[in-house]
Each structure stands twice: as structure tokens, then as C-alpha cells.
Amino acid sequence: MEDYRSSGVLAALEVINSIVPKQKLHAVGYCLGGTLLSITAAAMARDGDDRLASVTLLAAQTDFTEAGELTLFIDESQLAFLEDMMWEQGFLDSRQMAGAFHMLRSNDLIWSRMIHDYLLGERQVMTDLMAWNADATRMPYRMHSDYLRKLFLDNDLAEGRFVAGGEPVSLTDIRVPIFAVGTERDHVAPWRSTYKINLQTETDVTYLLTTGGHNVGIVSEVGYSGDRSFRVKKHGPKDHYVDPDRFLIEARQKEGSWWPEWVSWLQEHSSPLAEPPRMGAAGVPTICDAPGYYVLQQ
């Protein structure tokens, strides 16, 4: 986890700062990436690093006491088994990871698909979101073990024991505004779990709850013909805490994609728009033309 923080998030910040110096950045993290971003933001605040303008957490947990059905797979015995298996091959295979998530929604992701695809012989047409969802990756042994043991099992981040940069981090150190998004049918990061960010920080938190699940709820493009709606409410450091049930009552439901709401929030916390920098500026080489070799399978 520390390598992902230093060689991932912080390294990206260094490159961006070299291209657009003295500019504060809006940082966004999705799922585990959001957890890692919250750790990074807390460590930066602790160390007096003020390069962030805001933090957006998409379906990301910072407290794992109500982490949902995935906790059925996480105990000392299960972790010991996983660590032994990962030690032999160096990683958790993507098929093993996908199998665990499929079990969380077995009616939707296993049995209904078996009936539809195998028994009825009606193959589903692949969509871009389905293809993206199927593009799994391996989980490195050391990082995955740190994540499951220190966060899921021991809840070190929420309880002030998680170490980043050699010292523990505290989410209460974060002073930049936070935009947190949860999804109603999320089996990976239940929204009541992601909602706990309101209790863990002492800054302005705008919490938005949208329809859909862990993927479809986040990928909520404008103009989609399906039924989409969301609720949103701001919670300041001096405001009285509103519990999740009361949030559902007080936050008025809005129709459509939540993306324009996020854009408006970002504009409120941004400086005036400027001309985007030239790619490869400040001595940072351009690897290849967009969208990149990976997307083109080259």
C-alpha cells in the first residue's frame, strides 16, 4: 500500500506539478483507489503538503466496520489461507478475485446468467461497461495482504493506526473539501459504510447517494434513458451529524445523472478555467497517442 501511495499517487502529483506548477489539484479516487487517496490526503495534510484543492471519493470506504457481505470472506483463518496461496504465486489471480465478487451477488452474476446463457441459449450482447467490468487484474500479494488485514480486519485507518510515510495518519487532518459518492445497491462498498466519512473528518463533506450499484451507479452518463436519481447533502465541521436514515429523509431526491452536480461542485472550488497545457510539456515525454496501446491491444 505504501508503494502505491508513494510511487503511484504522489509520483503522479509530481509529474502534474512539473507541467502546471503552483496549481492545486482536484484528486479523485474510485473504490480501493479512493481509500488510498484518503490515506494520501491525510498524510499530505499531516506533513503540511497543500497541493490538493479537493478530494472526491467514489464508492470508497474509510471505515470497514460495516463493509457488507464481503466481510463473510474476511477473518483470521481466511486471511491466513489467502496469504499462503498468494505467497506461492506472488499475487491473487484475477479469476479468484472475480469469483469472490460474483458470490456476493450469486443470483445476478452466476445463476441468472447460467439460466439465460446456458439453458436458454440466449447470449447477452457485450456492452462497453460489461467489457470494462470483465477486465480484471491480479492483486499483488503484499498490497492485498496489507489491505485486507490492516483495513478490513483491523480497521486501522478509521482507528488512527494506519501508517503512511513512517507515521500514523488521521483523516481529521484533511482540511480540503470532500465530495463522497455512494450507490444504493453497492455490494462492494455499501453506502452506509462510505457515509461514515462524515464522522471521520472535520472539513466540508458533500455526500451524494445515487441509484445503481458499484459500477453502474458511478458510470452514470448524462442523457441515459433509464431511471436514474440521486440525493445530496452537505455536512460542515460545525453542523450536527445527520445519520444515514435521516439523510434519506432530509436529502431531496433529484432526477437524472449525478455528474452535473459534481461538475457544479468542482466549479465552486476551482479557479477560472485556463488553457490546458500542451502534452509532453516541461520535459515529460508523451508515451503514445490517446487512447493508448493498452486500449488498442497493441
Q: What is the pLDDT of residues 173-224, one digit of tens each?
A: 999 999 999 999 998 899 999 999 999 999 999 999 999 988 889 998 888 7
Q: Are residues 130 and 231 in the same domain?
A: no
Q: Are residues 133 and 162 in the same domain?
A: no
Give domain status of residue 214, yes or no.
yes
The owner of cell 494506519 is: 162
288 is catalytic: no
Do 201 and 231 touch, CB atoms closer than 8 A?
A: no
CATH at 259: 3.40.50
Residue 282 phi/psi, 5° resolution? 55, 35
Q: How far is CA 163 from CA 36, 180, 193, 202, in A?
A: 12, 23, 22, 20
Q: Are residues 178 and 248 in the same domain?
A: yes
Residues 236-290 pLDDT 10s: 888 888 999 999 999 999 999 999 999 999 999 998 877 877 766 667 777 788 7
Domain encompassing residue 257 = 2-65+157-283
Give domain status of residue 144, yes or no.
no
Q: Which of 31, 174, 197, 209 is catalytic?
A: 31
pTM of the full structure: 0.87
Q: Are residues 37 and 182 in the same domain?
A: yes
Domain count, the chain: 2
